[in-house]
Structure 1
Amino acid sequence: MHSSKSILILSSNSKRYLLSLFSTISSPTQPSNRITLGIDDLLSSIKLNKNQSIYISNRISRLKSLEKPQSVINFLQKTGLSESHVKSAVRGNLQMLFADVEKNLKPKIEYFQQLGIVGSDMGKFLSWSSHVLRFSLEKTLIPNIEFLKKVLCNDKNNNYLIKALIRCGSLIRKFSDSRLARNAAFLESCGIVGSQLSVLMIRQPSLFVMKESIVRDSVSRAVDMGFSLKSKMFVYAMDSTLSLTNETIRRKLELVQSCGISKEESMEMFRISPILLQVSEGKLKFGIEFYLHTVKWPKSVLIRRPSCLMFSMEDRVVPRYKVFQMIMSKRLLGNKVKKLSFSSMLIMTEQRFLKFISRFGEDAEELLVAYRGHDLLVSSKQEFYLPH
């Protein structure tokens, strides 16, 4: 047993204590050839809080060898986890170090692999949700996964399921401890079913394990903003408002209105593109002023296409506007120049836009320089035709 003095030393400098502890433990059966990471290397490189340090030291002090924790690390590495993923996985579930690989870990990992969680996806999943490996395969993991499959309809190759699990492993919990079934039932009662329910689970999987009152409030806030439960945008509105306070939403609406857009027009913009609520206030203001005062779009155009405010101003909007201005001023399209619109250039994919530039022969290089040479900060307002 450790003395209270040892515990104090441990809590103030767990790495040094653990390393000294390892050096006093005999481990004749420990593999001499480590793959990448050893148990001592692992624990000396991850940050452990006081309780974790005490837990690890107590467990390891009772071991006759480090064969079991080392075999766990080796197994995780052979599964394809990177060194950083192994560290995160262990930090999230220290008990895993003392699990039986063949009887406990391997069957569960193989089950997730059969679902399609492999390679880097497995690394992300376990680095964020390794705690799910504590659950019983037969009593918890399999029945809960089967329930999720029913919620995620038309999920070919478990694509939705994998995305949801990677983002929120807490979806896999004992039904008695989880609100998943009740929340899913409530959302379905609101008319959020089928593909809409799947979209919401992919974008906000944590919503399904929150308190039912939070889920109800999220629905109410979206309704209060004017979104119809029958609208395909409703689940995106829920997604956008979930992490925002009423004050933040009010402030963003007022900001849009301060740019000369009426209350009803601003509400219409957010109804068309609810994800716009997630855009920062600074970016919203800059974007609106740029489109209205620099590009000189009619207000009606911006209201119909609010998604343009979500593009990167520095990397996309401003550089492409420079290219647009050069094409227009030099009449590089000849008589067709009037048919070119900035909005059409803006929505092009990067590959298509570069291909579009390449059409201009000798002028293509100059246009590319104008497009790529935008490393100056947009805030300098020197060469970007920005609003004052």
Structure 2
Amino acid sequence: MFSVNLYCKLFPFKKFATDSTASLPFLYKDGLIFNPTSSECSKNQFFINFCSTVDVGSPELESGTATSAPKKKKISKKLAKESSYTISYLINTCGLSPEKAISASEKVHFETPEKPNSVIALLKKHGFSKTHIANLVRRRPVLLLSNPEKTLLPKLEFFKSIGVSKVHLGGTISRDPTLLTRSLENQIIPNYNYLKSVLLTDEKVAAAVKRTSWVFLEDPEKNLAPNITVLKELNVPQSCIILLLTHFPEAIMQKSDEFRASVSEVVEMGFNPLRSTFVLALHAISGKGNKMIWARCYETYSKLGWSKDDIYMAFRKHPNCMILSEKKISRTMDFLVNKMGWDCRMIASCPTVLFFNLENRIIPRCSTVHFLFSRELIKKDVKLSTVLLPTEKYFLEKFVTKYEKQVPKLYDFYEGKIGIEEL
């Protein structure tokens, strides 16, 4: 949010006069008077004007009491002018907020728009949106002073050549613009060669970098290669290693000692290294973030009636059930157990149902089956998996079309077009 107080701290200004009807003083610069409360002055324009009133001879600057002069050195007029221009450019051309522009201006300075304009033009040409450009500049403002043809273009073309499409290029780079600061010959290409040797295709390499830039920023010999060796020693299939690296690269790029500990934990839980659930479980317990989520899920399931054995059974069947949100778990369990009457342990034996959309799949199917129960058209011992796992076509044939003679409007009820009282 626009904060005048913040600008006052960062940019000392000359007080010319005080308007008794306004809460802020007029500002004076080069014979011009600005009233920051005027409706004719937009927030951004006021901010730009405000920056231009920096008093480089202010005693506050010389004494070091101003926030913008921590080293107690007098700011030159050239620097003040440069800073003001840079900030206005970052706001109006790059789309940064005033606060972010101030922060970015501490890392990059320019007096003319030629070089940053050429960089932005190149990014737009390669599919970067306004949001992508704003994020890139906010994270790496110094890139605005890069040589677009010699420094940036070869890297953008390289990533496009390995399959990072124009649609995804802006998002991939803007999430971590550090990629554009690394040497193409000395880091990016060597990392690509290693990744290609593991993942086998450019498509998989592109998938990995879209997940995380780490695969191109870190030396693979430091953690990635040793961790892959650990998996190969357990005879984890190449397909599972590819799955882990393309979908959950942060798990396999842990520090080697942490990765070994995670692997040992998964083995002790009884997961088979030859199956894909092994690497899914490895991802679920890897890193501090996922470990916290795992613990939170454990607590949630316990509160909802699962025993320790139930939780570990569900985890072995579908490891990702331990990285769901508490809200998702609670809403689904509440409907299936409290409203539909299924035993909570039945859900533990079929945790896949926790991933289905509650409104679009679970409620319509369960409501339809529950209605058929109430009319004694089907037996109540129908398994939860029989109701929720089949394809849409199979479910309709088994539970809707089959009973349309007895209940003509059953399909409309299933679609949510009518209520149960209209059947």
- TM (norm. structure 1) is 0.73
Q: Which amino acid aligns with 1:42?
A: T
Asked if 1 retains the 8 angstrom alpha-carbon contact of 2:95 and 2:134, the reply is no
Aligned residue for 2:235, secondary structure, equals coil
Higher helix share goes to which structure? Answer: 1
Q: 1:92 aligns with which of 134, 139, 147?
A: 139
Q: 1:119 aligns with which of 147, 157, 166?
A: 166
Q: Distance in 1 between matches of 2:223 and 2:152?
A: 26
Q: Distance in 2 between matches of 1:337 and 1:356?
A: 13
Alignment of 1:129-278 (within 5 A): 129-153=176-200, 155=201, 158-173=202-217, 175=219, 178-243=222-287, 249=294, 252-253=297-298, 255-257=300-302, 259-278=304-323
Aligned position for 2:148: 101
Q: Distance in 2 between matches of 1:44 and 1:286?
A: 40
Q: Distance in 1 between matches of 2:9 and 2:335?
A: 60
Aligned position for 1:48: 100
User: Which structure has the greater CA radius of gyration?
Assistant: 2
Q: Which amino acid aligns with 2:318?
A: S
Structure 1's 184 and 320: CA in aligned 2 closer, same or farther, altered over 3 A?
same
Q: Which amino acid aligns with 2:148?
A: V
Structure 1's 352 and 135: CA in aligned 2 closer, same or farther, altered over 3 A?
farther
Structure 1's 169 and 159: CA in aligned 2 closer, same or farther, altered over 3 A?
same
The alignment-based identity, stated in percent, is 26
Q: Distance in 1 between matches of 2:49 and 2:393?
A: 55
Q: Which amino acid aligns with 2:283?
A: D
Aligned position for 2:122: 75
Asked if 2 retains the 8 angstrom alpha-carbon contact of 1:86 and 1:127, the reply is yes
Q: Which amino acid aligns with 1:54?
A: E
Q: Which amino acid aligns with 1:277?
A: M
Superposed CA RMSD:
4.1
Asked if 1 retains the 8 angstrom alpha-carbon contact of 2:290 and 2:323, the reply is no
Q: 1:309 aligns with which of 354, 364, 370?
A: 354
Asked if 2 retains the 8 angstrom alpha-carbon contact of 1:22 and 1:40, the reply is no
Aligned residue for 2:165, secondary structure, equals coil
Deviation at 1:218, TM superposition (A): 2.1
- TM (norm. structure 2) is 0.67
Q: Distance in 1 between matches of 2:126 and 2:195?
A: 25
Deviation at 1:171, TM superposition (A): 1.2
Q: Distance in 2 between matches of 1:268 and 1:42?
A: 55
Aligned residue for 1:55, secondary structure, equals coil
Q: Distance in 1 between matches of 2:95 and 2:130?
A: 13
Q: Distance in 2 between matches of 1:48 and 1:248?
A: 32
Structure 1's 163 and 221: CA in aligned 2 closer, same or farther, altered over 3 A?
same
Aligned residue for 1:116, secondary structure, equals coil
Structure 1's 349 and 76: CA in aligned 2 closer, same or farther, altered over 3 A?
farther
Deviation at 1:302, TM superposition (A): 2.9
After superposition, what is the alpha-carbon deviation per residue over 1:310-357, rounded to whole angstroms, capped at 9, x for unaligned? 2233443223322333455568xx7x8999876444235678878999
Aligned residue for 1:191, secondary structure, equals coil
Asked if 1 retains the 8 angstrom alpha-carbon contact of 2:96 and 2:138, the reply is no
Structure 1's 219 and 97: CA in aligned 2 closer, same or farther, altered over 3 A?
same
Structure 1's 352 and 82: CA in aligned 2 closer, same or farther, altered over 3 A?
farther
Q: Which amino acid aligns with 2:139?
A: G
Q: Distance in 2 between matches of 1:202 and 1:220?
A: 22
Q: Distance in 2 between matches of 1:109 and 1:309?
A: 40
Aligned position for 1:321: 366
Deviation at 1:88, TM superposition (A): 1.3
Gaps of 5+ in 1: 26-37, 374-382, 384-388
